[in-house]
Amino acid sequence: MQISKLALHDFRNHENLELDFLSGATTIIGRNGRGKTNIVEAVHYLATLGSHRVSQDGPLVRNGLLSAQINALVKKHNRQAQVELTINYPGTNKVLLNQTQLSRPRDLLGLVTTVIFSPEDLELVKGEPTSRRKFIDEFSTLLTPKFINTRSEYERTLKQRNTLLKSLGRRPPSQQAQDTLDAWDEQLIIHGSNLVSTRLMNLKKLTPKIIEFGKTISGNTEPLEVDYLSSWLLKDTFELTEIKNVFRENLKLKFKDELDRGVTLVGPHRDDLEIKLSNMPAKGYASHGQSWSIAIALRLAAFDVLREHDDDPILILDDVFAELDEKRRKRLIQAIDGVEQTLITAAVVEDIPKELLSNQILLEDN
């Protein structure tokens, strides 16, 4: 798949910007502040309905205004689709698909698929578990858009259960409160087990690809391993019924501690992905350059699984060459050869390896 036209209106620093994209690699070159990352952020927003840089939509709307617009012409499965997405902040976003308004913005999910690497991806290696959970959950949503409903239901149930635990103030629950808690427990187990089961299934698909691309980028010198890390679930537990039973049992075991702390201590919201480099925890062991390469391997693995599932996603590489030596740059170029559409940003032309054949967009002042 690919985007052939993109128009931004009042999105970030772009008052009015119209771009045409070709297939293959396109490099978007501009010094800091000219909005090159904002362009690829807009493309990624069409795929996820969220930014990879901020958690709220407010910063996406140009200063002093209440809305921004992303319009795109998308080519997928030899068909074209016109997308008009309006970001209202505050307010509800609106999406037109081929000039017909969708009842919910999330109905757009699945039309555009992107995989994005950005400098923020160092958090996948060096950061807290939240970043790695977000990685596997976003990948799961791209693979199966309905997964977003599973995660939303789990988060809603978790919030309600935590509110109830906090309201008890360390006191044993009344019969009425216990009945309510039991109901929330059952919902937590159902949605949480489905969430974990999907994560495990998709990590199983990703892991051999992560190992493969880790070897590709490093030149086969730094073997990678990735495991699902959980304080409550035994390793190699994949069967949904078993996950539910273990979840239920651990909620019972931890209830007294949860009552004391007023928070849920068991569930996928506390899990992690453990990344090892040369059999050592990458978080503390990997250098800055190695962490950069690991993050690239994670994204390329996600891309490769998705392309096997459907059309090539749009591959976005934001400032990817900045921290790579010459050998790793060349290996990366070889790895992305043949991708239907790749969007690459760089601050200056010199950051783009000469071996990369690409269309170029130069962003000047104003």
Name the β-bridge partners of 116.
316
Instruction: Give the DSSP per-residue string, 207-251.
Output: HHHHHHHHHHHHTS-S-EEEEEE-SSS-TT---HHHHHHHHHHHH
Between CA 253 and CA 143 the distance in angstroms is 34
Query: C-alpha angle 214/356/340, rounded to 5°?
Result: 75
What mean pLDDT do residues 226-248 have? 93
Instruction: Render pLDDT for 318-342 as a digit per residue (tens, 0 to 9).
Output: 999 989 999 999 999 999 999 999 9
Query: How would residue 366 be classed by pLDDT, with cut points 50, 70 and 90?
Result: low
Right CATH for 119-309 from 3.40.50.2300, 1.20.1050.90, 1.10.357.10, 1.10.490.10:
1.20.1050.90
> Which residue, 88, 10, 106, is CA-closest to 97?
106
Asked whether the predicted pLDDT for residue 365 surpasses 80, the reply is no
pLDDT of residue 183: 97
pTM of the model: 0.92
Q: Which residues contact 127 (CB under 8 A, 6 or more apart)?
A: none
55 φ/ψ angles, rounded to the nearest 5 degrees: -90, -20
- Contact (CB, 8 A) for 13 and 329: no
What mean pLDDT do residues 295-313 have? 95
Between CA 24 and CA 15 the distance in angstroms is 27
Asked whether the predicted pLDDT for residue 347 surpasses 60, the reply is yes
Domain locations in the chain as residue ranges:
1-113+313-366, 119-309
Instruction: Determine how many CB atoms are found less than 10 A away from the CB of residue 269.
Output: 18
Asked whether the predicted pLDDT for residue 41 surpasses 80, the reply is yes
Task: Tell me how far the alpha carbon of residue 125 is from its chain's centroid.
Answer: 14
pLDDT of residue 53: 93
Q: Decide if domain 1-113+313-366 falls under CATH 3.40.50.300.
A: yes
Instruction: Give the DSSP per-residue string, 309-329.
Output: HSSPPEEEEESGGGG--HHHH
What mean pLDDT do residues 76-91 have? 94
Length of the chain as a residue count: 366
What the block records as the tokens of 216 is 């590709």
